[in-house]
Amino acid sequence: MTTAPATKSVGSRIGSLFSRAEIAAPADIESAALRSDRFRLEREGDWRRLEEIVVRMEKGGVRKISDEDLLALPTLYRTAASSLSVARETSLDAATLGYLESLVQRAWFQVYGPRKGLFGWLREFFLGGWSRAVREIWLDVCIALFVMVSGAIVGWLLVAQDTDWYYRLMPAGLAGGRVPGASRETLMETLQVEESSGGLSAFAAYLFSNNAGVCILAFALGFAFGIPSLLLLIHNMAMLGAIVWLFAGQDLGWEFGAWLSVHGTTELFGILLAGAAGLHIGRSMAFPGERSILDAASQAGRRSAVVMVGVVLMMVVAALLEAFPRQLVAGTGSRYMIGGMFLTFWLAYFYLYQPAPVDEDAE
């Protein structure tokens, strides 16, 4: 007898709650709709303006946008992104939410997205981007060039004073017949055209792998204020100075220079640029100026990365020159002509060819 009233009381309460919910539901829906309409009306002007700018950019790029709209674009984008965040938190109507999500996504691509595809990037890279990046690090190139020349001189002087230095500088197993005390005929044989895969071909393969490794390390270690990059350049050029001393001692300096120039003008230029790229990062970190160290390193890293992409291409070209012209062309004059042509090409491309930046929106 005592449980019936309790059951009835609970049932009455549940029925009462459902009744109130049914009465309040239409009012809540109407209130939510009013909030959504008010929210949209207060901000719809900015959304429409952002949408118009985005549509014009999608059709014709930046060149169809006025300076006023271009300056307003980032602010309008942030306003739309903020509106989207509010719309998600307050569960506004699905139509408004979907519209904002689409608008913010399209606007993000125009504000932060890539401006050009692979072919556009390659076109800009070869038609000015690479050469411009090299010119922008001219001071680092000058420092790296001074260090490389100094390293070659140091290697020459060390071996001239003590021939034991030759074996310290030259890796074991590389010298072959190119050692102090070798006759002129023996050294001359190492400069002749070879059709076999050994001898000079092995030396060429070593030079390519060694110089490619030097390039990568010189760039990668630039973060340590550029000091490891400079040390690598000194060591690599000291080895070259030692072998030049060896051939010059037998009056074969001119012939060795011709043999080396076929691929060396490209390969050594690539090493120079790699060392300069690494030094550029280190120097920017050591002397950031008014920027933070991270900002300075980031900016220098982007510029140096462009240079290094070109260095990789130069190493490929040098490898092809090692594998074919240097092995097939025997005349000293012809070898110097090939090396001189490539040196002239690189100098002209980097320092004489200065086109205006490619405007991808002008297409």
51-57 CB contacts, 8 Å cutoff, 24+ apart? 51/103, 53/110, 54/103, 54/106, 54/107, 54/110, 57/110
- The 10s digit of each residue's pLDDT in 262-309 is 988 999 999 999 999 999 999 998 888 888 888 888 888 889 999 999
234 neighbors 147 (Cβ within 8 angstroms): yes
324 neighbors 333 (Cβ within 8 angstroms): no
Q: Please tell me the distance from the alpha carbon of residue 155 to that of residue 329, in angstroms, as a whole number.
A: 29
Q: Which amino acid is at 243?
A: I
pLDDT attached to residue 56:
83
- The 10s digit of each residue's pLDDT in 127-157 is 889 999 999 999 999 999 999 999 999 999 9
Residue ranges per structural domain of the chain:
25-112, 119-355
pLDDT attached to residue 307:
94
Return the closest-CA partner of residue 110 out of 67, 60, 68: 60
pLDDT attached to residue 328:
72
Per-run averaged pLDDT (10 residues), the chain, 363 residues: 46 46 49 64 84 82 73 84 80 77 83 64 85 94 96 96 91 73 87 59 62 81 84 91 94 92 92 93 89 86 91 87 74 91 96 71 41
